[in-house]
Amino acid sequence: MQRAYVLHHRPFRESSVIVNLLVDGVGRVDAITRVGNGKRSIKSILQPFQPLLVQFRYQPKSSASGLQTLSQIEPASVALPLQGDSLYSGMYLNELLVRLVKVEHQAESLFVAYHQTLLKLAGEFHPNLLRYFEKQLLQELGALPQLEYDTLGEKIEADSSYLLIAESGFQVVYRGNNQAMNHAKGTLSGAMLLALSQHELLPAHINQAKGLMRNLLAPLLGNKPLLSRKLFRRER
């Protein structure tokens, strides 16, 4: 059996559901399963942030629907206790994965990153956890610019300022320590880029890192807003 998490599920016919899963060693898998009734019902474990073990009865690749059939599913451990900001963050991660990761996208490291992020969110919320996961997701999708080199192939310098150039990377706009340039609208500090690449963001980097990730994700997400962001703002 394989480790998995439920990202989302929706009703399908009278006693079945379609489940979007993130599966270790496979990636995104959409599957049909019967939910059952009474003591045999699996509704209680088809929930987000519940570590699972799953097994599929794989269909031919030519299947028009692309749906697999779950032949076995059971809890791997207790559900992770996400609350408050951590809960909304987990919902955000799930929505990103459903929207951006295609069925059976080979994403072994993405499952590990997701699992580890949930474990940390269950302990204590910190916005940097979201930035690191977004970085990993963009890398898996081939949409992450090189964080350690600029558009000319020169090493990113901590005391220089950069602009994000679509489909090119980071273009240096000022070399040397200049606080005004580092805080100018649209510019990114080299120190933040290097810290993001090493998962060592400081409090001073939080806003720039958040803006950068949003700009990189926006073309992939399109015009449809993320529901999890709306919920998070409503609770604030």
Tens digit of each residue's pLDDT (9 = 90 or more) over 7-18: 999 988 888 999
Is residue 225 in a domain?
no
Is residue 78 in a domain?
yes
Domain span holding position 84: 2-89+100-125
pTM of the model: 0.90
- The answer on pLDDT for 199 being more than 80 is yes
Tens digit of each residue's pLDDT (9 = 90 or more) over 175-188: 876 555 555 668 99
Q: What is the DSSP string of 33-97?
A: EE--SGGG--GGGSSBT--EEEEEEPPPTT-SS--EEEEEEEESSPPP---THHHHHHHHHHHHH
Is residue 77 in a domain?
yes
- The answer on pLDDT for 64 being more than 50 is no
Is residue 17 in a domain?
yes
As a whole number of angstroms, the distance between CA 178 and CA 163 comes to: 15
Tokens at 232, concatenated: 């998070």
Tokens at 8, concatenated: 């989302």
Tens digit of each residue's pLDDT (9 = 90 or more) over 107-129: 778 999 999 999 999 999 999 99
- The answer on pLDDT for 197 being more than 90 is yes
Is residue 111 in a domain?
yes
User: Domain total for the chain?
Assistant: 1
Q: Which CATH number does the domain housing residue 9 bear?
A: 2.40.50.140
Is residue 156 in a domain?
no
Is residue 154 in a domain?
no
**Which residue in the block uniquely carries the two structure tokens 């926006």?**
218
As a whole number of angstroms, the distance between CA 116 and CA 101 comes to: 18
Is residue 226 in a domain?
no
Tokens at 31, concatenated: 């599957």
